[in-house]
Amino acid sequence: MIAVEPFTEQVVFQRPRAMTGAPTTYCPGCMHGVAHRLVAEAIDELGIRERAILVAPVGCSVFAYNYFDIDSVVAAHGRAPAMATGLKRVQPDKIVFTYQGDGDLASIGIAEILHAAGRGENLTVIFVNNAVYGMTGGQMAPTTLPGMKTTSSPLGRDTRTMGHPIKMCELLSQLDGAAFIARRSLHSPAEIRKAKKAIVQAFKTQIEGRGFSMVELLASCPTNWDMKPVDALKWIETHMVPIYPLGDYKTRVES
Amino acid sequence: MIAVEPFTEQVVFQRPRAMTGAPTTYCPGCMHGVAHRLVAEAIDELGIRERAILVAPVGCSVFAYNYFDIDSVVAAHGRAPAMATGLKRVQPDKIVFTYQGDGDLASIGIAEILHAAGRGENLTVIFVNNAVYGMTGGQMAPTTLPGMKTTSSPLGRDTRTMGHPIKMCELLSQLDGAAFIARRSLHSPAEIRKAKKAIVQAFKTQIEGRGFSMVELLASCPTNWDMKPVDALKWIETHMVPIYPLGDYKTRVES
Amino acid sequence: MAKQLMKGNEAIAEAAIRAGVEAYFGYPITPQTELLEYMSKRMPELGRVFLQAESEVAAINMVYGAACAGRRVMTSSSSPGISLMQEGLSYIAASHVPVVIVDVMRGGPGLGNIAPSQSDYFQMVKMAGHGDYKPIVLAPATVQEAVDLTALAFDLAERYRTIATVLLDGVLGQMMEPVELPAMRALPTTPPAWAITGAAGRAKNSVVPFRMQADDLEALNLELQRKIAEIARREVRFKEYLIDTTSGSTDKAELIVVAFGTAGRVALSAVKAARQKGICVGLHRPITLSPFPDERLSQLADEARGFLVVEMNAGQMLQDVKLSVGGQAPVRFYGRTGGQVPMPDDIALEIEKLDEMTGHPLDHKIEGPVALRPVDRPARRQETSRTSRN
Amino acid sequence: MAKQLMKGNEAIAEAAIRAGVEAYFGYPITPQTELLEYMSKRMPELGRVFLQAESEVAAINMVYGAACAGRRVMTSSSSPGISLMQEGLSYIAASHVPVVIVDVMRGGPGLGNIAPSQSDYFQMVKMAGHGDYKPIVLAPATVQEAVDLTALAFDLAERYRTIATVLLDGVLGQMMEPVELPAMRALPTTPPAWAITGAAGRAKNSVVPFRMQADDLEALNLELQRKIAEIARREVRFKEYLIDTTSGSTDKAELIVVAFGTAGRVALSAVKAARQKGICVGLHRPITLSPFPDERLSQLADEARGFLVVEMNAGQMLQDVKLSVGGQAPVRFYGRTGGQVPMPDDIALEIEKLDEMTGHPLDHKIEGPVALRPVDRPARRQETSRTSRN
Amino acid sequence: MAKGHVVVDSERCKGCELCIGVCPKGSIHMSEGFNAKGYRTAVWVNPDGACTGCALCALVCPDTAIAVYREVVPRVGAANAASN
Amino acid sequence: MAKGHVVVDSERCKGCELCIGVCPKGSIHMSEGFNAKGYRTAVWVNPDGACTGCALCALVCPDTAIAVYREVVPRVGAANAASN
Amino acid sequence: MTHYDVVFSGFGGQGVLFGSQLLAYAAMEAGLQVTWIPSYGPEMRGGTANCTVVISDEEIGAPLMRRPSAVVALNYPSVQKYEPLIAPGGLLLYNASLTLRQPERTDIRCVPIPASDTAAELGTPKLLNMVMLGALLQITGVLPVEAVEQSLEAHLPAHRRDMLETNKLALRRGAELAQTLSVMA
Amino acid sequence: MTHYDVVFSGFGGQGVLFGSQLLAYAAMEAGLQVTWIPSYGPEMRGGTANCTVVISDEEIGAPLMRRPSAVVALNYPSVQKYEPLIAPGGLLLYNASLTLRQPERTDIRCVPIPASDTAAELGTPKLLNMVMLGALLQITGVLPVEAVEQSLEAHLPAHRRDMLETNKLALRRGAELAQTLSVMA
Ligand SMILES: Cc1ncc(C[n+]2csc(CCOP(=O)(O)OP(=O)(O)O)c2C)c(N)n1
Ligand SMILES: Cc1ncc(C[n+]2csc(CCOP(=O)(O)OP(=O)(O)O)c2C)c(N)n1
Ligand code: SF4
Ligand code: SF4
Ligand code: SF4
Ligand code: SF4
Ligand code: SF4
Ligand code: SF4
Ligand SMILES: [Mg+2]
Ligand SMILES: [Mg+2]
């Protein structure tokens, strides 16, 4: 029999299963929200929600444990890769990922991220680079752009005394243990889609046991940049992307 | 008047002025001794003994403060670059250098060395890579070669669980703040001469205010390698050099 | 000089600057961050050194380095950051170099929260790092005191070549109060003789935080202990309210509240309220937590009916009070944790309980100062320590 | 099972393995390193996890992670390394996850030296990290005890979801003694319900070391305090020698030496020697430093003429002894620092001094057990604390 | 073009306006009033049915405040296909 | 060839034999006896004057136990040159 | 003896901080002791903010209290939060423009001020904090409005200088409103 | 009651560790309590090493003592270091092959053993530690030589098994020497 169905709607977009739906404490327009959603979508797509484990950082996304509907822990500032190492080494069948800000990962926690990558820990790292310390009120991060004013570089980052930006993808891709290292941005729908793909690829790297994977996401902190959210996204495109070129920095096929 | 002088001798080689002459506690044939002497010779040659400051590490060379006839401090394990930063920032006219082992610099202290380099601290680092933790009895270091047996990798370093060697020159030369980064070896008289030149160049980099400089020296630890000193030097050449290629990794001219 | 309304954190920063701090190294952490931010602005203006370190571990070791150069140097942080500094602090102690540390305590343990707390008392006063040493610990209760004690911290650190800490909580760090700032001091022109400044025209100097031989290391420890004893002899500071007053209408206190910092000032309100109700209570507020005013407390214990220790933790200074009181009077405890600030009403209630427990004189509304009844030695089990949520 | 002659460090490692430790993360440091090295060999053989971390900071956070997964996990280090773990330990405490930490103490402060010491007492017992928490601290005095207490540490850590530490010094770590090892325990088959193992077929679990709201964080703290109180009620352990013996020729002790670990066993030699000279002295050796045997000491204080605390530090446990004794008897101190091990002769001399100071009975060579004279309450100033080099 | 249907959860919305910026059809506006948290919120206004359900708005929304539905044009044989 | 003169400080020498390994002239040998620290030590043995003072031995010595001197062949006019 | 404590409460962005600080400045400049202390929620931006000011002519002990004697509530959640807390006999001054429900307590004085509307009328919706502060001064008399005007002159940030007169105007409008309303109440 | 303490002292590499451990093993296997504890100098290699063994039939308190009752000195620096420390009535057994000067104390028993020479004669210069240990056993009678021989069988590392008999020989030669020498002394 040929049925003519009543006029219906199809869901094009809704909150992924791997998110709890708890409202976030993030500022209006903060890209942590988008980054969270992409990770949750990737988890849903790969069907790994029940074996995924989040290691949340100290930073604005310390609350991430509350937003993902998966088993979660919160690490000490910068130590998420070490904590994740502990979690993964004792249960290698789980999919363990850290979610870290740039202060957390590139400043206080640079030793832990480098060594996790160096050892080729089979972990995934979602690295949200917003060029400042969001949570503590916008101080300079190792990723702050030259000349950029922050609450701890009030006259702008002077590279002679405060150094140049540290580029984590470039650095980590030097390490033999790193299997997949990519940088994406969240400044437009198109870039958001690409970011999602990279996140999926990073998780796949782990699922296939190929070693350390990291996706760096250029993101905005409208509050501390003191910009409207829309302008902040533009600023990512015009100011951050030139210094932090997007792309795949390492894709190792063998494990 | 033409004088015929009595038959005399000229000093070809003697202990440099910048060494105290205190006998060392190093094992027979340990290359720390040679590395010390080269640094002291460089200090003498550059005439900077009276403004040179050594930051000694924790490692076999913790005693270095005793062997150099210059102002010295001993840092906590791995923190020499931070301590040196403190010393140099308050007295930029002094020539401050750290002397660090591979456990100290590449393991526990990797955050401090990376950030000192990242900030382009105008410091010099002498990095003695002997592929093990000498002082504590020969445990695995981040620089231990794949397959190499140590007291904490009794079956040999398995790169799948313990990672691949971390190559500090390759890593640090990624950073914009690094001005001069070179790797040399101490396994033969010819290499020792080259090492000396690199050390001089590193100090010059600092004297000229061009930023962070580091010379990595491949060295032996006959005791923990369980080799005769002569064999240990050969082993550097045959086993270490292929993994840690010698050369200049970065030479930035502008400051 | 006119008073200014300043946040504790900023007032401390400005006070340090006026005390001649030459270099600041630190890492952001709430509720201390304004101090770092203030420094980031002012220090470069003055041609002095400001550097945001990559971590607290790096910060304390930069401080260590600059201190070895004989320069006035400081860092500031909050509880978790202070934990990370413990190894460095122990090295600094072993090296006899002067440094100033400001700890704006927050709720713990762990990441805790950013609310005010006093639970770093042990970590600071009992030395959290390995080995036997003891920093000087100064605990302000007002922004003005924070300013004054910051200057004092530099003086004491240099006089004794030791670690001097200013220990406050988030309330004081975040609160604004009117302050009078001292004048700007001149920077020292020559570094001390032991400083690491390059061996020009003199024999080399070394700063060495170890002694391979046990007898040498014991000698170093004895020197540290000697220093601690000297500091204990000379530098005890505290403030008392409504205790032992000889004039006016206030009675000599029979009950003593002991509290420091914010807990101390809140307790003052409670003590005043209890006095209104006729309870003869006074407040002893230690300003130096290390050296601890143990002699004074022991003196007070000779005559007091009982003590109430109030802290924003689960009972840390309590131990030092008990050690000072030495079993001569009951010691009760009222503590709030997790970032809760005790309220005057709650403390007042505890004072009343103590009053009852220790058997207050029948006619407790005495008009003038009177001699105290001799105090029975209390049964030991009365000296209860407890955390109360009331 | 036949006895084996084993180094303390290796015996502890093997004991942990037999207690079912599933993962070990650590960093080399003398005088603990043999423990790590032993693990590097044995754990992979058994298919368990061994990982040399990049630092002590990383090691403790790896331990934290594995503990969150509900696995039996441990690390070991020595004093400076333990200082670096303080932030992590505070996080672990806030998270109520069980971990075992072995600290083989060395001379401090700073880099100190690699000689034996007990100067991490404060750092371990008074919690060195920020916040209010208290690990269980077990202090063995023989290699056999180290073995037994290691197994106990795992049990207690899991029972109370807390940090349990085995605190020893370089003497015990490096010394060989005959030991009987327990049988190999089976590994647990299912992780506890709270463990972070992936939210399969159940609601998600979280391990969260903070509470943003002060009242929530206070609730967490009250839970920690409740746990501490329960542990204090149930887990106190100590060993006594020549105290309160009702049989044979030994007298009830009038003087009590209190010492733990290596200092405790050396003191035993001294106590025996003093007994030979007819001094009625006994030894109380706390095995749990936390919870501290305060009730027992307070009981002993009711009858004892005096206490002598012997430590390999400048007087740390001393404070807890004084708090327990509560002013009821004089407490003397003999301490050696910097890696010096006190010698029996020196302690014997201190016992004699204490004997004289506290006025020993005229006929002090009594034959059988006798009732003790009631003890006068000593003047407070007699309770001197000092570091002596004699 | 497909017809879209957008639902904004006004209690989740924080009024960041990112969705407005990316909507190719101008179908989202800001509310006049405030939600409980004090924000003006995004409102889907689609009088002429311009919204295509492209979901760009949802893609950039940091607060997953937007759900997007699209008209399913009934296809003959769909039920059949499903029953295979 | 220039003539060398080598002095080994036997109390500093730890007998590692590195100098022996590099001496192109075979002018260094190990001692029979031990020094105060219990090491056999390097001994410069140069009966035929083969040592050129090339200082390779000193260059590799980790304990700066070796000093090297070289004969200065008197040159006519040297004094003159110096007095210019 | 002067002893006065007041909590300012509202959304982030409503001027809670500046309004309350201004009172503190004025108190200091009037030679009084004063403490000002903020507390924030976990949100980085948005969420609620509140500041407590204590003014006294004696050394101030507690800078925080469980039951404040006065509350200036700039939004409705603040009314909800603080109404039950205010000490008996105390004052609740609330922004009537944003309040959905009248406060119910009868043992405190509740004064509605249409602050948002008033500020909007003045063309400066952001100055609702000044309207409320003016009202507070008027009702409590803790400090004269003129004293606060002086502090405004001293402490208005440089980039807002052009708003000085408007600020003063808002202050005075608040005071006027309070006079009328409290007469009515 | 058995209570015996002895310090073995010498250069690193002279077999101080193994010699003293062997004694400890033998004591344990004889059912006695025993402690063995090493101490090193700052040098990584070379330098001096010494190990203290205490043997008792009661729980052992101190595993270290200021004044040992016996010392086995394998080199001259050890003689210099320990001669003054030995408890009155104690024993100094020293390697006469490497000793430059006779010990001088008369209140202790000093027994020279030409251990290095003897070991060299046996073709195994490294076994001077066994020679000294054999001598110690002979002189003190703390344990029978046979007991140590058994421990040697149990604990000689696998890769040295071929040296078992030579080790035993050295032990026995040491015992013989001690017998002769102590008769002579
Ligand atoms: C040991 C320690 N140091 C400092 C802090 C304070 N702190 C919290 S978050 C943070 C930085 C966060 O910046 P980032 O990692 O870039 O995250 P964002 O908030 O920007 O997402 C800092 C310094 C802390 N909690 N612990
Ligand atoms: C915080 C801390 N952790 C560990 C140690 C122990 N330790 C001393 S030196 C050393 C490693 C030295 O190795 P390396 O840096 O390679 O120097 P080397 O001795 O090989 O020259 C370690 C782990 C310490 N002193 N402090
Ligand atoms: S402060 Fe920045 S990073 Fe943090 S929530 Fe706000 S916008 Fe996001
Ligand atoms: S252990 Fe190795 S690095 Fe250390 S002194 Fe000996 S040979 Fe040199
Ligand atoms: S679905 Fe597309 S067209 Fe419709 S509102 Fe969203 S962005 Fe605009
Ligand atoms: S993007 Fe989301 S939060 Fe932002 S205005 Fe649109 S619906 Fe609201
Ligand atoms: S100087 Fe040259 S030739 Fe002479 S001994 Fe040394 S290495 Fe040999
Ligand atoms: S190289 Fe130096 S230490 Fe080695 S044997 Fe020769 S002289 Fe001696
Ligand atoms: Mg950031
Ligand atoms: Mg090394």
pLDDT digits (tens, 9 = 90+) for A73-123: 999 999 999 999 999 999 999 999 999 999 999 999 999 999 999 999 999
Alpha carbon distance C155, B183 (integer Å): 46
Q: Is residue E41 in contact with ligand 5, taking CB distance under 6 Å?
A: no
Neighbours of C35 (CB within 10 A): 30
* Backbone dihedral angles phi then psi of residue D107, each to the nearest 5 degrees: -65, 140
Residue G11: its chain E contacts at CB < 8 A? 38
What is the assigned CATH class of domain H3-184? alpha beta
φ, ψ (nearest 5 deg) of residue H25: -60, -45
Min mean pLDDT across B110-124, D53-67, H146-160 is at H146-160
**Measured in angstroms, how far is the CA atom of residue E53 from the centroid of ligand 5?**
5
Q: Cα–chain-centroid distance for residue D15? A: 17
CATH 3.40.50.920 fits D238-357, yes or no: yes
What DSSP state is assigned to residue D326? Answer: T
Q: Are G142 and G22 in contact (CB under 8 A)?
A: no
Beta carbons of A71 and D196 less than 8 angstroms apart: yes
Q: What angle do CA B253, B43, C94 make, to 5 degrees?
A: 105
For the segment C130-178, what is each residue's pLDDT rounded down to a tens digit? 999 999 999 999 999 999 999 999 999 999 999 999 999 999 999 999 9
Give pLDDT tens digits for C205-257: 999 999 999 999 999 999 999 999 999 999 999 999 988 654 444 567 899 99
Contact C43, C18 (CB under 8 A): no
Write the DSSP assignment of G118-184 as a string of letters. HHHHTT-GGGHHHHHHHHHHHHH-SS-HHHHHHHHHHHS-GGGGGGHHHHHHHHHHHHHHHHHHHHH
The protein residues having their C-beta less than 5 angstroms from ligand 9 (an ion) are: A 101-102, 130, 134
- In this complex, the chains that touch A, judged by 3 or more CB pairs closer than 8 A, are B, C, D, E, G
Strands E66-72, A8-13: pairing kind: antiparallel
Q: How many other CB atoms sit within 10 Å of the CB of residue C45?
A: 11
What is the residue range of E34's domain?
2-83
User: Residues 79 to 138 of A: which have CB under 8 A from any B CB?
Assistant: 107-108, 110-111, 114-115, 118-120
Q: How many domains does chain F have?
A: 1
* pLDDT tens string C22-49: 999 999 999 999 999 999 999 999 999 9
**Mean pLDDT, chain D, integer:** 90
3-state secondary structure of H133: helix
Task: For ligand 4, pick from B27, B61, B62, B150 the residue to mutate: most ligand atoms within 8 Å of CB.
Answer: B27
Residues D126-133 have a mean pLDDT of: 88
pLDDT over 50 at E83, yes or no:
no
- The answer to whether D19 and D150 are in contact (CB under 8 A) is yes
User: B118 burial class (0-12, 13-18, 19+ CB within 10 angstroms)?
Assistant: buried
| For residues D158-169, average pLDDT | 98
- Ligand 3 centroid to residue G118 C-alpha, Å: 33
Structure-derived torsion over alpha carbons of residues D149, D155, D156, D162, reported in degrees to the nearest 10: 120
Distance from CA of F15 to the nearest CA of H (A): 11
Q: What is the C-alpha separation between H50 and H47, in angstroms, rounded? A: 10
- What is the predicted pLDDT for the residue at B6? 55
Q: Give yes or no for a contact between B251 and B180, defined as CB atoms under 8 angstroms apart.
A: yes
Residue A132: name the closest of A39, A229, A34, A240 by CA.
A240
Least confident range of A101-115, A137-151, C88-102, H155-169: H155-169
d(CA H77, CA D8): 29
Chain C interface mutation, best of A62, A132, A143, A152, highest count of C Cβ atoms under 10 Å: A152
Cα A130 to averaged position of ligand 9 atoms, centre (Å): 5
User: Which tokens is H12 given?
Assistant: 């690193």
Q: Is C54 on the interface with A (CB under 8 A)?
A: yes
| The pLDDT value given to residue G45 | 62
Give the model's pLDDT for residue F75: 59
Say which CATH topology domain C4-190+209-234 has. Rossmann fold (3.40.50)
Would you call C51 helix, strand, or coil by DSSP? strand
Residue of A nearest to C25 (CA): A152
Q: For C115-128, what is the mean pLDDT?
A: 92
**What is the C-alpha to C-alpha distance for residues H19 and H37, in angstroms, rounded to an integer?**
12
End-to-end CA distance of chain C: 43
Buried b (16+ CB within 10 A) or exposed e, D308-329: bbbbbbbbbbbbbbbbbbbbbb
Asked if C3 contacts C141 with a C-beta cutoff of 8 angstroms, the reply is no
Q: Does the distance separating the beta carbons of B110 and A111 come in below 8 Å?
A: yes
CATH code of the domain in which E24 resides:
3.30.70.20
> Cα distance from A154 to chain B (closest Cα, Å)?
17
Ligand 7 pocket test, pick from F5, F13, F17, F52 with the greatest ligand atom count within 8 Å of Cβ, gives: F52
Question: Is D33 within 8 Å of chain B by CB?
Answer: yes
Write out the E strands in chain A: 8-13, 52-56, 71-74, 95-101, 124-129, 132-133, 139-140, 178-185, 212-218, 247-251
Span G59-69, pLDDT tens digits: 999 999 999 99
CA A50 from centre of chain:
21
Predicted local distance difference test score (pLDDT) of residue A90: 98
Q: Say whether B190 sits in a helix, a strand or coil.
A: helix
Atom 3 of ligand 8: nearest residue by CA position: F13
- The C-alpha atoms of residue B29 and residue B16 are separated, in whole angstroms, by 19
| Distance between Cα C211 and ligand 2 center (Å) | 16
Mean pLDDT for G141-163 is 92
Helix then strand then coil, % of chain D, to nearest 5: 40, 20, 40
Q: What is the reported pLDDT for H47?
A: 67
Q: Looking at residue C360, what is its pLDDT?
A: 59
Q: Can you tell me the mean pLDDT for D289-312?
A: 96
Distance CA C344, CA A73 (A): 37
- pLDDT above 80: residue C70: yes
Which of chain H's residues have a Cβ under 8 Å away from the Cβ of F39? 46
Is the pLDDT at D2 greater than 90? The verdict is no
For the segment D111-124, the average pLDDT, to the nearest whole number, is: 96
Nearest by Cα to B100 from B118, B124, B120, B121: B124
Mutation for D interface: A85, A105, A119, A135, most D CBs within 10 A: A85
Copy the structure tokens of residue G129: 């904090």
Q: What's the token pair of residue C118?
A: 């006093």
Q: Is H18 on the interface with F (CB under 8 A)?
A: no
Residues of C in contact with A155 (CB under 8 A): 44
Q: Does domain B32-251 have CATH number 3.40.50.970?
A: yes
Query: ∠ at Cα D235 (D231, D238), nearest 5°?
Result: 140
In this complex, how many residue pairs, one in chain B and one in chain D, have their CB atoms less than 8 Å apart?
51
Is D37 in contact with B162 (Cβ distance < 8 A)? no
Which residues, in sequence order, are CB contacts of C223 under 8 Å at separation 6+? C96
Residue D11 CA, chain-centre distance (Å), reads: 17
> Which ligand gives the minimal distance to the CA of A31?
3
pLDDT of H1: 65
Average pLDDT (B186-197) is 98
Q: Look at residue C374 in the predicted model and tell me its pLDDT.
A: 31
Task: Judge whether residue D160 has pLDDT over 70.
Answer: yes
Least confident residue range of A232-236, D162-166, F1-5: F1-5
Asked whether residue E31 carries a pLDDT value surpassing 80, the answer given is yes
Q: Report phi then psi at B58, rounded to 5.
A: -100, 125
Write down the pTM of the prediction.
Answer: 0.94
Question: In this structure, is the dihedral angle defined by the CA atoms of residues H166, H171, H177 and H180, taken in order, positive or negative?
Answer: negative
Task: State both tokens at C24.
Answer: 């600041």
What's the gap in Å between B221 CA and the centre of ligand 4?
5
Which stretch of DSSP H or E encloses residue C139? none
Under 8 Å CB-to-CB from H159, ≥6 apart: which residues?
Answer: none
**pLDDT band at residue A255 under the 50/70/90 scheme:** low
- Report which protein residue has its CA nearest ligand 2's atom 5: D29
Q: In whole angstroms, how large is the CA radius of gyration of chain H?
A: 15
D119: nearest CA partner in chain C = C131
| B11, B27, B188 member nearest F69 (Cβ) | B11
The two three-digit tokens of residue G154, written as one number: 């001293």
Neighbouring residues of D183: CB distance < 8 A, sequence distance ≥ 6: D1, D18
Task: Provide the pLDDT confidence category of residue H48 given band limits of 50, 70 and 90.
Answer: confident
C363 pLDDT above the threshold of 50? no
Mean pLDDT within A150-170: 97
Q: Whose CA is nearest to atom 8 of ligand 3?
A: A30
Q: Which pLDDT tens digit goes with each residue over D247-282?
A: 444 567 899 999 999 999 999 999 999 999 999 999
* Cα separation, B66 vs B33, whole angstroms: 12
- Return the bridge partners of H66, or none: none
User: Fold match between C4-190+209-234 and C238-357?
Assistant: yes
pLDDT confidence tier of residue C122, bands split at 50, 70 and 90: very high
Both structure tokens of C383 = 């000296």
Residues in chain H: 185
DSSP bridge partners of C49: C23
Chain C neighbours, 3+ Cβ pairs < 8 A: A, B, D, G
Judged by a CB distance cut-off of 8 A, whether residue A225 touches chain C is no
Residue A97's H or E segment, with its range, is strand A95-101
Q: Do C345 and G66 touch (CB under 8 A)?
A: yes
Q: How large a percentage of chain A has pLDDT more than 90?
A: 95
